[in-house]
Structure 1
Amino acid sequence: MMHLLTTAATALLALAAPARASYAFYVGKNLTADGSVLVGGTGEEVSSHWLQLFPARDHAANETIQVGVTADAVIPGELISIPQVAHTFRYLSMEYSDFEGFPAPLTNGGLNEKGVAVRDVWASNRDELVAMTPTPQRGLQYSDLARIVNERATTARHGVEIIGDLIRKHGYATYGGNTHLIADKDEGWVVWEFAGGKRLWAAERLGPNAVRVLYPGYIEDFPVDFADSDDYMGSEDLVSFAIDQGWWDPEGDEPFNIFKVYGVQGADVSARNGGFKYMSQADLEEATLAMVPVTEKDLMERVRDPRIADDQAGYGQVVSLHDVEDADLLRLWVAPTGSVAAPFIPWHLGVESVPPEFGQHRYLTTGASSTFLNPDFQLQEASLFAGRLFKRVLYYMCSAPNTFLHLVTDMLTAFEAESFDDVSDWVEKAASALLEEGQRPAARKLLTHYSHTRASKALEFGRSVTDSLDGYIKLSGLWKYPVGDDINKGEGESVNCFVGGNPDKPADDQEQKHLRSRL
């Protein structure tokens, strides 16, 4: 019997090998230029990504929602139904179609009408916890929790309470551990949900003087009497379970440290040296602190840092959380694919629609290669897909990273500078004046028109860049045909050309002058 249990646990661990997806930045309001809380990040799933607006909705008294994972998940499970609330909030989210076999559509989070932002970030657990996970597992998974926080949370703290209550009542379904970063205009919280089927979770408050980068997510020292603190929350048996398992000795000299107790174990493993890319959380946090007082533009620079923003980045997001006179003026900056190759576009929560080019398309959508198009999507699919367009920019850049990285980055930041000027000079002032006069429909039309216009300009920009780089590469003899016949790389790192290309060293002046004359 013991042999069977060991074999089953080993198989489960093999299935739930650490998944790496998404990162998040938090900057407290005392460290920003305008006193706002800044949040940024990206999703890193092998998937299609698209922007979607979810309007506020009222729901019937007996309405339910389906949550959890299916038998196709990396750790198999069964879907369950839980009660829906009477009213859900308006929010903007980047959606995607696949991760570890979880049912689509999925989300890493977004921004809701109460000014609550949520980001989802991977955070692997110790092997023993993963092995404890029952199959089939039941409960809410990471995307369910992020979506429900978008729909229901009025503050960041409320979002944490919602997650804790849902896990306590309905359980948690996992791929091996996960964190969420939840923030509002005053504070942020890191919530770590643990594998094992034991409904364990922990949360730490991030105050006004904190900078935190999650890649993966982490929490370190944690008070054993956390129930008496305003800065920590967690499941009731968070400490006692660790003691029972022999993972922490209350009589010893070591403080109760969430990462050391529940995180990945290893002699050379620590909470802030993970990430498995070219910058650790510690490096990214130091780079962010060096920018204090941090602006939205600064955080965009951090999110698009070429040492972490590569082919895996499905989109980029930055949001400034502060007091606004009306929820429609809340603003989310979104790059339609990795922001190292795509511009951030401003989307206010008052927009009434998303252009079809930024909506769902078949590119990288699960099952697209084995199924025909749903006729309902024929016009949407006929439109250009922003995600695919700017992915082309990335691949052209990678053909000569020392040459093209700084050139394209200069163009991206110039495009965004125009957006910043528009937003501050007239867009938000005009929308605010209309809202004050009670003309909400007109204000929403204005915000929608502006975001659609900038989105259209971004597409023009993307087409110009791809045409120019394509022509330069072919005419200058830099074109290379692929070697081999397999377009999909099953294992190992994805395209990350910029580190090898040394992103800290721009092309020399002569090369830049030559390029600009051709492009």
Structure 2
Amino acid sequence: MKKPSLIKTVLSALFILASIFLFAARGLPEECTAMIAGRNTTFDGSILFIKSEDDSPREVDYLWYVPRNTYEPGAVIKLRAGGTIPQVKETYAYFWDQCPRTAYSNQFINEWGVAFGSNACASKEDSVKEVEARGDLVKGGIGFRLRMILAERAKTAREAVMVAARLLDKYGYRASGRNLSIVGPNEAWQLQMVRGKNYVARRVQNDEVAIIANTFSIREVDVDDKDNFICSPDLIEYAIKRGWYDPKSGENFDFARAYSPERIHESPSNTHRAWNMARLLNKNFPLTLKQAEEGLMPVSVKPDRKLTLKDVMAIFRNHYEGTPLDKSGFGKSGEYKTSPHKTPHNICNYGTHRTTVVQQRNWLPVEIGTVTWRAIDQPCASVFVPWYLGATKIPEPFQKAPESFHATQKDLLDYHFKPPVETWDLDMESASGIFACLGGLVDTTYGRTIEFVQKIWSDFEDEQFALQPTVEKSALDLYRQDKAIAKEFLNNYTESQALKSLEVANKMIYKIKWHLWGAGGQNKIRIAIKVDPKIYDAYVGEYDGSPDLRLKIIKKNDRLFCSTEDGPQLEIFPESENEFFFKKVDAQITFVRGEEGKVTKLIVHMRGRDIPAKKIK
């Protein structure tokens, strides 16, 4: 009988563990995180919209391109709660980042570059039944379909807010509360909605970075400033009526305080993530962790530098390293004692299944100027791949679902909310499956593998950043001649990089299983760095570690080798300027200098032993 492969055995165990974790975590708070950087805070004058989706470790993601559609007079949109909304004559094209069966973990970006993503925010509002009874929810109200409708109808972020306001005024919002980030090439808004017909939208200012976890974040509201605020008609009056705000207190109206339950607004799940973003954006952020835990976090932060793509990606890969909140044992050595995802309320956590960075540049044609940098699964062990808005052909592994959206005979609601049970099987031919596998392998061996994985992905991303100006110059030159040719160029480039990311991920999966569990099993996957070969001269010589060993260190063609008296010469590779490792055996060497700066000995680290050897020649 053929024995199951090691990788299948390991993966089965990983997914059983994931299922156990998911069962235990059902009662945990939602922990999606978002950040919007105004154009004056970024390195290139772009607006950056960063969003993580956090549900469970077993969610899958598909990417669909939905072209423009036309509809007959009288056509309607069927809402999940049972109501209907009149459909418009023509809808715009959009990309749909789908997470099957989830009501709100779906991100959209339309052909005009207007992007939509949300964070659950509980409110003090009454139940659906009570709100519907008093007429503030019409036929159950609108929820899941809102952002899709906005993507279909709005050319700008402001227009999307206005369309949303009209729909909310008429039908009401169904969920307890939610922040919907609406980000276009020219401006960005945060629309914060309460069950029923109350809402406030605030325009993100050019000199700030708006931050939000899973609680309302908008504070002061200027109802007379129509350029920066769009509000429901009785937003403040309703709060007064419910006893949530007292104008006689002498304090300004604070939307977040008025409409958020205190237990949610001050929950560590929200305050810790918001505080972490703030301190990473500005090292001099004035609020302490204790003040953040009292619900005092501001709606935005002024960063202490111009933010790069790499900066914001790093923030969304963070696990509180170097703070009292970190539970991973991460130390000065840069190594983890356990997975940092065990630390509660991380930005990057067990449930993160997709993170995106939407880069908006209004000085370029939208097909080129709007780029979504997309990472599947936990971003600390994944890679951000650039997807240009003009690239509408999606490689098969990124939409490899048991039932294709383009081929299904089901209506939208049944397709999304009643997917085949096979949807959650591990599929190693799909992008979701490959990155989930890599993330699971890393998470179970975090301290031994993360440095290796992050080095590979860092090199991959650095290459994309370096290529971006050249790619976009070529695309722009083509665009001025023929838009169709420019789009095909962007299709080819985007597809090549997306497929390359899968190829690299698969190679890492193989290497991790071989190094940790195969015949060449080692404690850690080590990474060679580039150093000046001149430093090798100081290490060359003979070393005596009697009675256990006698070694020779030899330099050849700017490479360093080690041998025993009668053994073969094995190359050693630098991890730092004085730390080296073997690739063929699980052993390492550290060169030690004396008080005068000269190399006096080396130490061999092997099988839990540290064996010193004095330099004798």
Query: Does the TM-score normalized on the shorter chain lie above 0.5?
Result: yes
Q: In the alignment, residue 476 of structure 2 is paired with which amino acid?
A: S
Partner of 1:424: 469
Is residue 2:108 matched to residue 1:110?
yes
Q: 1:321 aligns with which of 356, 360, 372?
A: 360
Is residue 2:186 matched to residue 1:193?
no
Q: In the alignment, residue 91 of structure 2 is paired with which amino acid?
A: T
Does structure 1 retain, via aligned residues, the 8 Å contact 2:100–2:419? no
Q: In the alignment, residue 98 of structure 1 is paired with which amino acid?
A: R
Is residue 2:397 matched to residue 1:357?
yes
Written as runs of structure 1 = structure 2, the 5 A alignment for 1:375-386 is 384-386=429-431
CA deviation after TM superposition for structure 1 residue 108, in Å: 3.1
Partner of 1:458: 501
Q: In the alignment, residue 230 of structure 2 is paired with which amino acid?
A: M
Does structure 2 retain, via aligned residues, the 8 Å contact 1:336–1:358? no
Q: 2:78 aligns with which of 49, 66, 83?
A: 66
Partner of 1:52: 64
Partner of 2:531: none
Cα distance per residue 1:466-497 (max 9 Å; x no partner): 11111112143779xxxxxxxxxxxxxxxxxx
Task: Report which of the two has the higher share of strand.
Answer: 2
Cα distance in 2, alignment partners of residues 319 and 229 from structure 1:
26
Q: In the alignment, residue 391 of structure 1 is paired with which amino acid?
A: A
Is residue 2:460 matched to residue 1:415?
yes
Written as runs of structure 1 = structure 2, the 5 A alignment for 1:245-284 is 245-266=242-263, 270=265, 274-275=268-269, 279-284=272-277
TM-score (norm 2): 0.66
Q: 1:286 aligns with which of 263, 279, 283?
A: 279
Written as runs of structure 1 = structure 2, the 5 A alignment for 1:172-211 is 172-174=173-175, 176-195=176-195, 198-211=196-209
Q: In the alignment, residue 431 of structure 1 is paired with which amino acid?
A: A
Is residue 2:406 matched to residue 1:406?
no
Q: Secondary structure at the match of 1:256?
A: coil
Is residue 2:338 matched to residue 1:309?
no
CA deviation after TM superposition for structure 1 residue 412, in Å: 0.9
TM-score (norm 1): 0.77
Does structure 1 retain, via aligned residues, the 8 Å contact 2:428–2:434? no
Q: Secondary structure at the match of 1:146?
A: helix
Q: 1:18 to 1:461 in 2, by over 3 A?
A: closer
Partner of 1:41: 51
RMSD of aligned alpha carbons: 3.3
Cα distance in 2, alignment partners of residues 115 and 186 from structure 1:
10
Q: 1:152 to 1:367 in 2, by over 3 A?
A: closer
CA deviation after TM superposition for structure 1 residue 228, in Å: 4.5
Partner of 1:161: 162
Range with bigger deviation, 37-46 or 130-139 = 130-139
CA deviation after TM superposition for structure 1 residue 387, in Å: 1.0
Does structure 2 retain, via aligned residues, the 8 Å contact 1:356–1:383? no
Written as runs of structure 1 = structure 2, the 5 A alignment for 1:8-27 is 20-27=30-37
Q: 1:138 aligns with which of 132, 137, 140?
A: 140
Q: 1:240 to 1:334 in 2, by over 3 A?
A: same
Aligned length: 444
Q: 1:466 to 1:233 in 2, by over 3 A?
A: same
CA deviation after TM superposition for structure 1 residue 432, in Å: 1.4
Q: In the alignment, residue 141 of structure 2 is paired with which amino acid?
A: G
Partner of 1:152: 153
Does structure 2 retain, via aligned residues, the 8 Å contact 1:221–1:255? no
Q: 1:231 to 1:120 in 2, by over 3 A?
A: same
Cα distance in 1, alignment partners of residues 119 and 76 from structure 2:
26
Q: Secondary structure at the match of 2:65?
A: strand
Q: 2:233 aligns with which of 207, 231, 236?
A: 236
CA deviation after TM superposition for structure 1 residue 513, in Å: 5.3
Cα distance in 2, alignment partners of residues 458 and 302 from structure 1:
21
CA deviation after TM superposition for structure 1 residue 216, in Å: 1.4
Q: Which has the higher contact order (CA 8 A, sep 6+)?
A: 1
Cα distance in 2, alignment partners of residues 287 and 134 from structure 1:
42
Cα distance per residue 1:495-514 (max 9 Å; x no partner): xxxxxxxxxxxxx8599954
Q: 1:445 aligns with which of 481, 488, 496?
A: 488
Q: Secondary structure at the match of 2:311?
A: helix
Range with bigger deviation, 343-352 or 280-289 = 280-289
Q: 1:207 to 1:509 in 2, by over 3 A?
A: same
